[in-house]
Structures are given as C-alpha cells and as structure tokens.
Structure 1
Amino acid sequence: MVRFATGPAVPEQLLPTLAMFSAPPAVAGNAWRALAGPGQDEVQFALLGTLAALLLPHLFLLPRYLRMRFTLGFWAFTFTLAASATYGVRMLSLSPSTWHTSLSWTVVETATALIGAVAARSLAFLPRPRRLARPGRVQHT
C-alpha cells in the first residue's frame, strides 16, 4: 500500500491486478453470511461499505482499462467479479422484492458476461495448431 502512495506507478500490464485488493471484503461477507446466517448486522454493513469503497476506484479506472492492451493480468478481475456478484446477490436477497430480484439477475448477468469476455479474449493466447505437410510433398526444415 505504501508503494501505491509513494512509489512509482504500477506498470500498465499489471494495473488489472489491483482488482485483487477488492476481493477480501466480498469473500469475508460471503463467509460471514454462511457463519452468521441471513440477516443484516454491523459486520455485514462494515464489509459492504468496505467493498464499495474498494470497488469505487475501479469505476474511475474503467476508461483506462478499456484503452489498455489485453493481457492475462485481466484474469485478476474474474475472482473479484465473482465474489462481489455473489455477495451482492446475497445482500439483495435480504429484502426480496421484484426490484431486488431483477437487480440480482442483472448483477449475475453482468459478472458472467465480463468473465466470459476475459475468457474469450484469452483464447488469443492459445498456441496455434501447426499445419501438416500435404501428402507426397517433402517438407524441409
């Protein structure tokens, strides 16, 4: 954390890995919900507030993320997206209504689409299959 405040800027290809700092409150919130059961308490509000505070900077970084060349570092977003979406849906389920149900589905669809986009873009990093020589032709190396 000190490096972010006083050190040199993070190299651009590593910028997406900053998303990992946002995952702990979502994971802790999911774990707390499993331990304490459904309900709103001070711990849930503290974790939800911390998650919101840690996700907010990524909204400001979004234009920069969109301009960046895709790297495998974007996979750092996927865990944070999945954990945050799960936590968001669990928090929305505390007060069931048509509005909350619709918003929950939107959260799930958005997280799934973004994770799928990272997976699809990663396909470019797979090695290309080698072409076989045509029968009857000698291939020189």
Structure 2
Amino acid sequence: MTTAAASPYQLTPNLFAVSFGTAGLAQAWTVAADTVGAPSWPGNTLWIAAAAVWLVTLVAYVRNVVAQGRLRTELPDPVLGPFTALIVIVPMLLGIGLAPHARTAGETVFVIAFVLTVLLGGWLTGLWIRVDTALPQWHPGYFLPTVAGGLIAAGCSASLGWTTLAHLMLGYGLICWFILGSILLVRLFTQPMLPPPLLPTIAIEVAPPVVAGNSWFLINGNTLDTGAELLAGYAVLMILVQISMIGTYRRAPFGPAFWSFAFSYAAVVTNGVHWLDVEHVHGQEQLTYALLAVATLAFVVLAARTVLGLTRRTFLPRAPRPEPEPAS
C-alpha cells in the first residue's frame, strides 16, 4: 500500500473548495425548500456529502502535509496559505446544515468553527502585514480568511437567531471586503495576468456581494431594502465580469482551482432564489427550479470532470522533487 510519505502528489488546501462548493449547493437547495417548498432531500443529501468530502479531504491533507514536512510553510505560503481558511469555514456551514436536525450539535460545530475562523483570519492578516508579499502574488483567494469567513459567519449567526453576532460579523466581513477588494482589483487591473493555474480564482470576485446579500436577507427577515439593493447592484457588475472571463478561464489547466467556481456560483443562485422570493416574481417556483437545475448540472459536470482527472492522474499537482544532495 502506498503511504503518504511516498505519495507523488502534493495535496493543497484549495482541495477544500470541493466540500465548500458542495455546501454552497446544499445551501441553495435549503433556501429553495424554505421559499418554494422544494424537496428537502437534495439539500440534506448534499450536506451529508459536503461533510464526508470535508472529512476525507482533511485526513488526506493532514497526512500529506506532515509526510512532506510542510507544517511550517503551509500557512505562510503567499499563494496557497489563504485557502487554509476553508478548513475551518466549511464546518461553520455544516453546523448550520446540522442545526435543524440536532440544534445543540449544530450550534457546537458552528461555534468551534467560528472561533477558529476568526483566530485564523486574525493570524493571517497579521502575517500579511509583517511579510514582504509582492502584489503580483496576490489573488482573489485572499478574500477567504476574513471576507468569506466574516460574511458566512454573519449569515450562519442570523439563521441561529443570534442577531448581535450576525451584525458584528457582517461589519467584520464588509470592512475586510472593502479593504482587500481594493487591493485585489488594483492587482488585477495593473499587474500581469494571474498564472494559468490560478485563473479560476477570479470566480471568487463574484462571491462577496452575493454572500453578503444572502446574509443580509437572513438578518433582515428576507425583506427587500436599500442594503439588499446596493449589494445586488455590485453583484450584477461582477456577474457580467464573470461572463466576460469565459474565454480567459478556458486557458487554465483543470485542477483544484476550478472548484473556485462551485461555491461562488452557488451563492449567486442562492441570492437569485432570495430575490425571486422577496420580489414575489410571477412564476417564482419555475424560475427557482430553473436556477437550481443549472447550478446542480454545473456541479455534476465539475464533479465528473474531477473524477476523470483523478482517474487519469492529472487533477492533483505533483509534489516537487527533492533536490539531490551535493556530492561530498
């Protein structure tokens, strides 16, 4: 049997985007169940799948990191370090998926993951201040530790009825989005294009306004107000940007970074489901199912392409070969 020490592959933290995207689609189906009475089994099945994928990924990832001696270099890595936040962000969502079935257990999972998310976000922010990271090394994955962590925590808190914490984390996530978003847009506007393996991370640019919008609907009782409208305005721009990027995305080699699309686009669908509900759109049920069908089909295609890449051994990056020791 092949051991982790002998593995020719380097398991990177962006692999947790698979469980992240699965949880995002589960959330879309759950919101649809609340708004148009969609069946609950797709959402429940996806929540279970997200938990299973997260756990399997965690075990494999930790073994790989330890075996390859990357414990001290993983978090400070300027490219992959921000993705480590997904390890603790995904369980926040899983806790909310569990809460309707086992309230205490769900709250416990959420609180533990929430505390770890805030601590990791603070540590990484301090690290980015201390180290000399060149602007071209930045990519939209830098949104994950604090922007995604804060905005998702806000929505999760609101769904549990913890209004004060929801407001606190909404502010946390929004301010981090305004600051980091400015830096990232300057990087994307003024620096050379991201290297091909990182091109799919530009999909993350669409996530902040729609994740914030989803959280805001949970906070304000699913009503339409100025805050929701302002967030939707920027979301429209970012959706149009994603459409314009289709040709660019085609230049990227298929790998774990492609799962950047999964949660981001699922969050767009979830936001659309909310808007159909608050606007009482004619044909709401049919349009909701159409959005879910597109999101689910895209997820299935992405998952199938991933399985194909795994069977062909092209999906995971190869571990760098150790440099030969100099002759004595």
Which category describes the TM-score, using the shorter chain as reference length? Answer: 0.7 to 0.9
- Partner deviation per Cα, 1:107-137 (whole Å, 9 max, x = no partner): 1111111111111111123257xxxxxxxxx
Aligned to 2:191: 7
Distance 1:97 1:8, change over 3 A: closer
Distance 1:66 1:101, change over 3 A: farther
Q: Which residue identity does 1:105 align to in structure 2?
A: Y
Is the 1:25–1:48 contact (alpha carbons within 8 Å) kept by the matching residues of 2? yes
Do residues 22 (structure 1) and 22 (structure 2) align? Answer: no
Is the 2:206–2:235 contact (alpha carbons within 8 Å) kept by the matching residues of 1? yes
Which structure is higher in RCO with an 8 Å CA cutoff and minimum separation 6? 1
- Partner deviation per Cα, 1:66-115 (whole Å, 9 max, x = no partner): 46442221100001011111111011112334423222211111111111
Is the 1:17–1:76 contact (alpha carbons within 8 Å) kept by the matching residues of 2? yes
Distance 1:67 1:101, change over 3 A: farther
What is the alpha-carbon distance in structure 1 between the residues aligned to residue 295 and residue 201 of structure 2? 17
Which of 68, 83, 99 matches 2:267?
83
| Structure 2 residues not aligned, in runs of 5+ | 1-183, 313-328
Q: Which residue identity does 2:201 align to in structure 1?
A: T
Q: Percent same amino acid among aligned pairs? A: 34
SS class of match (2:283): helix
Q: How many residues align?
A: 128
Q: Which residue identity does 1:108 align to in structure 2?
A: L
1:1-141 maps to which residues of 2 (within 5 A)? 1=184, 2-66=186-250, 68-126=252-310
- Partner deviation per Cα, 1:40-86 (whole Å, 9 max, x = no partner): 10000011111111111111112333464422211000010111111
What is the alpha-carbon distance in structure 2 between the residues aligned to residue 125 and residue 32 of structure 1? 38
Distance 1:66 1:5, change over 3 A: closer
Is the 1:26–1:84 contact (alpha carbons within 8 Å) kept by the matching residues of 2? yes
SS class of match (1:9): coil
Question: Which structure is larger by alpha-carbon Rg, 1 or 2?
Answer: 1
What is the alpha-carbon distance in structure 2 between the residues aligned to residue 7 and residue 66 of structure 1? 20
Q: Which residue identity does 2:259 align to in structure 1?
A: W
Is the 1:14–1:73 contact (alpha carbons within 8 Å) kept by the matching residues of 2? yes
| Structure 1 residues not aligned, in runs of 5+ | 129-141
